[in-house]
Amino acid sequence: SAQRCYRDLEAWSQWESKAIQPKLEGHVQHLRQDFTQIRSDLSAAQQSMVDLMCQVQKIQNIGIEELCCLHRYAASTFSDDAQRFAGRLAVILRESFGATPIEPAPGDHFDSAYCERGTGSGCYIAACIHRGWRWKDGVFRAITANRESP
C-alpha cells in the first residue's frame, strides 16, 4: 500500500509538472513579448519627447528673435513712448529669457558671430549703431559702424 501510494504520488507529480510547465512557459513568453513591446513604446515616446522639446526650443528662439527685432525698432524711434517700450523689452529679454546685450565699444575688434556691418569695411568698431542680443541658443547680432584702425 505504501509503495502504491508512493507510485501514485510520483505519477501525479510527473503529470502535474508536465501540465503546468507548458502553461508557465507560455506565460513567461507572453510576458517577454509584453516587456519588449513596452520597451519599444517607451523608446518611441522618448524620441517624440526629444523632438517636441527641439520644436519648442526652435519656436522659442523665433519668438526671442522677434522681441529683439521689436526692441531694435523701438530703440531707434525717438519718441518717449518708444523708448519706454524699448526699455521694457530689454528687461523682458534679460529676465524672462536670460538674454544679454551685445554692445561692442569703439575700438573693439569686429566679430561677425556677434556683429554685422552697418557702415564701413574695417576690422574695428567705430560705433555700435544697434544693440544685439545673445541668449542660450541664439544670437541677434548688433549692427556696427566699422573702421580700419582701432
The answer to whether 49 touches 68, Cβ cutoff 8 Å, is no
The DSSP 8-state label assigned to residue 113 in this structure reads T
Binned at pLDDT 50, 70 and 90, residue 30 comes out as confident
pLDDT at 107: 94
| Helix ranges (DSSP H) in the chain | 2-75, 80-97
- As beta bridge partners, residue 116 has 143
Nearest-angstrom CA–CA distance, 133 and 65: 9
Q: Give 55-90 pLDDT, tens digit per residue.
A: 999 999 999 999 999 999 999 998 999 999 999 999
All cell numbers assigned to 138:
541664439
pLDDT at 1: 73
Which of 25-29, 86-90, 91-95, 116-120 is the least confident region? Answer: 25-29
CA Rg value for the chain:
35
Kindly report the pTM of this predicted structure.
Answer: 0.69
CB atoms under 10 Å from CB of 93, counted, come to 21
Question: In the chain, what is the straight-line distance between the N-terminal and C-terminal CA atoms, in Å?
Answer: 114
Taking each helix axis as running N to C, give the angle between helix 2-75 and helix 80-97, from 0 to 180 degrees, rounded to the nearest 10: 160
